[in-house]
Amino acid sequence: MKIAVLVKQVPDTETKIRIKGDSSGIETDGIKFVVNPYDEYAIEEAIKTKEKNGGGEVIVVSMGPARTVESIRTALAMGADRGIHIDDAGLQADSHVTAKILAAALQKEGGVEVIFCGKQAIDGDCSQVVQGVAELLGISQVMIAVKFDLREDKKGALIQRRIGGGSQEVYDVSFPVIVGAEKGLNTPRFASLPGIMKAKTKPLAVLKAAELLGESKPRVSFVNYRLPPERKAGKILQGQEPAQMAAELVKLLREEAKVI
Amino acid sequence: MEYLVNRRDIDFILKEQIHYEKLFELPEFKEFTTEMFDMVLDQSFKFAQQEIAPLNASGDKEGCLFDGKTVKAPKGYKEAYQHFAENGFIGMDVPATYGGQGLPLTVAMPASEFFSGASVSFMMYPGLTRGAAHLIETCGSEALKNIYVQKMYSGVWAGTMCLTEPQAGSAVGDLKTTAVPQPDGSYKIKGGKMFISSGDHDLTENIIHLVLARIQGDPENSTKGISLFVVPKLKVKKDGSVGESNDVKTVNIEHKMGIKGQATCTLSFGDNDQCVGHLVGEPRSGMKQMFQMMNEARLLCGMQGLSISGTAFEHALQYAKERVQGQGKTIVAFPDVRRMLMLQKAYVEGIRSLLYHTGYYIDMGKGHPNPETKAYYQGFADLLTPMCKAYGSDMGFKVTELAMQTYGGYGYISEYPIEQYMRDVKISSIYEGTNGIQALDLLGRKLPQNGGQVVQQFYAMLDEFVTKNQNEPALKVELGEFKKALDLIAQVAMSFMEMTGKGDFNYPMLSATPFLNMFSNVVVAYYLLDQAVIAHVKLAKLLEEKVDDPSQHKGFIKGNDEAAYLDGKIKTARFFVHQVLPTVRATVKSINSGDRSALEIIL
Ligand SMILES: Cc1cc2nc3c(=O)[nH]c(=O)nc-3n(C[C@H](O)[C@H](O)[C@H](O)COP(=O)(O)OP(=O)(O)OC[C@H]3O[C@@H](n4cnc5c(N)ncnc54)[C@H](O)[C@@H]3O)c2cc1C
């Protein structure tokens, strides 16, 4: 069974994001980059699925600059078998272009039955790439997956996905399928020290993003970056009679917050 | 309880001060890459935060349970111990032969900081296992190695070190436990040991005690007659499986001030004359062999001081930025609070650099292909170990006290983490040779080492640092002050030699602890100043690249984390040199006074 995991390297959640002087992007120096947290669930599920299947191969695919290799190695140290780094130097990628490139890489690889990825990357938070890849490859997709049970025939899986209001849907899907992992799908393992030692010698291929993309052009252009406005301090009503304060609150909700 | 640590500072020491890639020059580390080191650190940190830190407060509240027979460690310890082992952390820095990971100590030090900082009570279980297994690995016979070592690194069995007896604390040579040779080459062990850390618990299938005892007939009341034995709690069969009890009985566990998740046990060996031990190495070389484990453990004691005070400081800093008192000001604005925070920062960052460097010297001292270089670094490691242990633990305690003071009343309250940190860290100045014993070790053994050559070489390194950088205007004054303090150390050391030459041992011994402290202050000042020099160059470059108008420098530093960190390094070194280093002069004055009142008074 060939299993692929799509992984993105993103700034650590604790990073204080700074915008470049010319607003063209974020300052990347001094930032610590990590595997996108949702992708960790994907990696874990891929390895678990291989184990449950009693064999197979887990291939980590990641697009990004040279430093992306660190994230691929982390996935290899967790237990994936080999990596494909898609070097995107000089490319301005939107979700469409990213999906195109990843789909092309997967097609080039061929024979992949299950593709795991995080439901979204915590940097851009677009949550569009999974669906894009599914459309481009013409395969089934299950997003926001919280449970993945390999079917007994090993040619499909029962996949639970979270929908609003605490409800869940269960899909019986035949492979090939692409799965967008949600928090809670599993508890990702650590990259063990023996795993880290082994990861060094696992194969890692490099592809060029531009070659995979062909003629497609991005559909979104990035005009500039801005930090969200700082949240203003809240107002506390105090010191008056309760009835007076209630009246004051209603007035504020009407005139200042304009919500009623 | 959240585990907080300054990762930037750790990266700075490893990558910008030590340059850990230099380790690749050593044959045993040439297969590694910096990428692998970083991954190891990331995973260790994550493990500490996610798996160990949650056990710290709960382990403290719950404590260990003794039902009269066996000991139960607090909830969650067993699972965490197994996970810890599975991830390869127990034998992180030992060769791969028996399942170690072969990483340099330089990389294991920060990992150890994360683990101990997250929960020192927990970390002592795998820590002692590692030390015991490594001792068997280094000194034991092939047969002992094959049976025990791998099982210990892989988490199946745990380990301890058993020196202390009721009448033999600091004076290990007074121990009474005996070993009687048996026809099959083994020994029957009999005696009682107390205060044994990780002495009994339910984390593993078996516990392997490394016991110091005296073979019948060997010299009494001296460390020269002591031998080292492997004594399993449960007998181990030929095929390596675990059998019946080896007549090792847990008599009691201690109730104590801190490290309550740690089982400190009184053990009785051979109550029924059925306790079998296996000699490690040669007879009567037990003390020398145990010193391997003790030297490692001494460094780790200093690490306990650093790791706990490191997280205590981060908590205090965070708290000071949030706590509002008076005119809507956060308390971090008040000069006295800033003074306390700066002291904490300077001690933590200086001691961190001292400990990591000592780890690096040990790696170089073990693995450098050139015998001269090897001896040079090993000498530094020997010289600095008592300072790491004593100064690291004493200042570690002091920092937790300052952290508590920073919190005010809330620091004293158990809902906040500081009071536990303070209780937990206190023990580090007591066990593994009290800090008083460390001071004697520095004075009596380490200063005269190789005819004083080691300390002279160390002096030369620090002196050269001053010569090389003294024209740097930004730190000129501080380097001048440092040089004066450095020369005072040399003077005092000389005067001690003169005194002992004349047969006066008591006065130097009276001055041993003050001397260790003043020497450590100078050493820590050196590492902080070295950091400041590096930071100064980097900051200047950053400002040149990013800011055109010099009048904007201050504003830029305020808004840029990296610039603020580097600027902080310079200020921390200056602070330490002006606020702490002058105590060296006072200490010298007191030592030079020749005042013997403490020796002469009738107490
Ligand atoms: C929680 C805990 C865990 C421990 N874990 C272990 C363990 O795992 N294994 C183990 O073997 N032991 C362990 N110990 C024992 C510990 O190492 C001893 O307590 C320590 O070595 C001091 O011995 P003592 O308590 O008998 O004190 P003493 O030796 O009686 O010392 C009392 C005081 O006298 C001073 N003193 C003693 N002799 C001298 C001297 N020659 N010169 C100057 N000053 C001196 C000491 O510095 C100290 O201030 C542990 C102790 C505790 C409390």
Per-residue pLDDT of B150-187, as tens digits, reads 999 999 999 999 999 999 999 999 999 999 999 999 99
Cβ-defined contact of B103 to A73 (cutoff 8 Å): no
Query: Ligand 1 centre from B121 Cα, in Å?
Result: 19
Q: Which of B2, B6, B15, B35 should one mutate to test binding to chain A, selecting the residue with the greatest count of A CBs within 10 A?
A: B35
Mean of pLDDT values over B528-536: 98
Cβ-defined contact of A18 to B560 (cutoff 8 Å): yes
The average confidence (pLDDT) of chain B is 96
Nearest chain B CA: its distance from A214 CA (Å): 33
pLDDT tens, position by position, B547-585: 989 999 999 999 889 999 999 999 999 999 999 999 999
Q: Which of B235, B200, B228 is nearest to B212 (CA)?
A: B228
pLDDT tens, position by position, B241-255: 999 999 999 999 999
Q: Does B39 touch chain A (CB under 8 A)?
A: yes
Quick check: B518 and B528 in contact, CB under 8 A? no
Of A100-114, A227-241, B200-214, B541-555, least confident by mean pLDDT is A227-241
Which of B434, B513, B516 most suits a substitution to test ligand 1, by most atoms within 8 Å of the C-beta? B434
Cβ-defined contact of A193 to B87 (cutoff 8 Å): yes
- Cβ pairs A/B, distance under 8 A: 48
Q: Rounded to whole angstroms, how far apart are CA atoms B30 and B41? A: 18
Query: Ligand 1 centre from B222 Cα, in Å?
Result: 17
Mean of pLDDT values over B485-509: 94
Q: Which of A20, A76, A187, A193 should one mutate to test binding to chain B, selecting the residue with the greatest count of B CBs within 10 A?
A: A193
CATH code of the region A2-213: 3.40.50.620
Identify the closest residue of chain B to A32 by CA–CA distance. Answer: B8
- Percent of chain B at pLDDT > 90 equals 95
Nearest chain A CA: its distance from B322 CA (Å): 15
Nearest Cβ partner for A193 among B7, B38, B92: B92
Nearest chain A CA: its distance from B36 CA (Å): 7
The domain spans of chain B are 448-597
The distance of Cα A87 from the centroid of its chain, to the nearest Å, equals 18
Nearest chain A CA: its distance from B15 CA (Å): 14
Mean of pLDDT values over B42-48: 97
**pTM of the predicted model, to two decimals?**
0.94
pLDDT above 90: residue B256: yes
Q: Does B478 qualify as catalytic in the annotation? A: no
Amino acid at A254: R
Q: Which residues of A touch B560 (CB under 8 A)?
A: 18
Quick check: A139 and A176 in contact, CB under 8 A? yes
pLDDT tens, position by position, A44-67: 999 999 999 999 999 999 999 999
Full 3-state SS string of B304-365 = HHHHHHHHHHHHHHHHHHHCECCCCCEHHHCHHHHHHHHHHHHHHHHHHHHHHHHHHHHHHH
Q: Looking at B51, B137, B432, B481, which residue is catalytic?
A: B432
CATH 3.40.50.620 domain residues, chain A = 2-213
- Residues touching ligand 1 (Cβ under 6 Å) are B 160-164, 169-170, 195-197, 256, 264, 427, 430-431, 434, 436-437, 440
Q: Rounded to whole angstroms, how far apart are CA atoms B459 and B446? A: 14
Would you state the structure tokens that stand for residue B240, as one six-digit string? Answer: 């390596």
Cβ-defined contact of A30 to B562 (cutoff 8 Å): yes
What are the beta bridge partners of residue B196?
B265
Integer angstrom CA distances of residue A25 from A29, A217, A223, B452, B548:
12, 20, 9, 58, 21
Quick check: B509 and B591 in contact, CB under 8 A? no
pLDDT above 90: residue B88: yes
Of B121-135, B330-344, B549-563, least confident by mean pLDDT is B549-563
Task: State the distance between the two ends of chain A, measured CA to CA, in whole angstroms.
Answer: 57
ipTM of the shown complex: 0.89
